[in-house]
Copies of this chain bind each other. A is one copy, B any other.
Amino acid sequence: MRLSRYFLPVLKETPADAQIASHRLMLRAGMIRQASAGIYSWLPLGYKVLRRLEQIVHEEQQRAGHIPMLMPTLQSADLWRESGRYDDYGEEMLRITDRHNRDMLYGPTNEELITDIFRSYVSSYKSLPLTLYHIQWKFRDEIRPRFGVMRGREFLMKDGYNFDLTKEDALHAYNRHLVSYLRTYERMGLQAIPMRADSGPIGGDDTHEFLVLAETGESEVFYDSAVTDIKLGSRDIDYDSVDQCKAVMEEFTALYARTDETHDEAAFNAISEDRRRVARGIEVGQIFYFGTKYSEPMGATVVNDKGEQVPVHMGSHGIGVSRLIGALIEANHDDNGIIWPEGVTPYHCGIVNLKQGDAEADAACDGLYKALTDAGLDPLYDDRDERAGAKFATMDLIGLPWRITVGPRGLKNGVVELTSRRTGESEELSPEIAVSRIKDIYKDI
Residues of A participating in the B interface, judged by any CB pair closer than 8 Å? 5-7, 9, 30, 33, 35-37, 39-44, 46-48, 50, 65, 67-76, 78, 91, 94, 96, 98-100, 102, 104, 106, 113, 116-117, 120-122, 130, 132, 134, 137, 139, 141, 143, 153-154
Contacts and interface: CB of A to CB of B under 8 A. Distances in A.
A99 B104 contact: no
A179 to B, nearest CB: 18
A415 B269 CA distance: 70
Contacts of A9: 120-122
A33 B120 contact: yes
Contacts of A117: 33, 41, 43
A5 to B, nearest CB: 6
Given A94-B98, A121-B9, A137-B137, A35 B75 contact: yes
14 contacts: A7-B132, A35-B72, A36-B74, A39-B72, A39-B74, A39-B75, A40-B72, A41-B72, A41-B113, A42-B71, A94-B96, A94-B98, A96-B96, A99-B143
Contacts of A120: 9, 33
A65 B68 CA distance: 30
Contact of A35 (B46, B71, B102, B134): B71
Contacts of A99: 91, 94, 141, 143
A44 B68 contact: yes
Contacts of A70: 41-42, 47, 50
A443 to B, nearest CB: 18
A6 B91 contact: no
Contacts of A47: 68-70, 134
A73 B73 contact: yes
A183 to B, nearest CB: 20
A102 B139 CA distance: 15
A355 B56 CA distance: 37
Given A41-B117, A73-B137, 12 more contacts: A6-B67, A7-B69, A9-B120, A39-B76, A41-B69, A41-B70, A42-B71, A44-B132, A46-B69, A74-B106, A94-B98, A94-B99
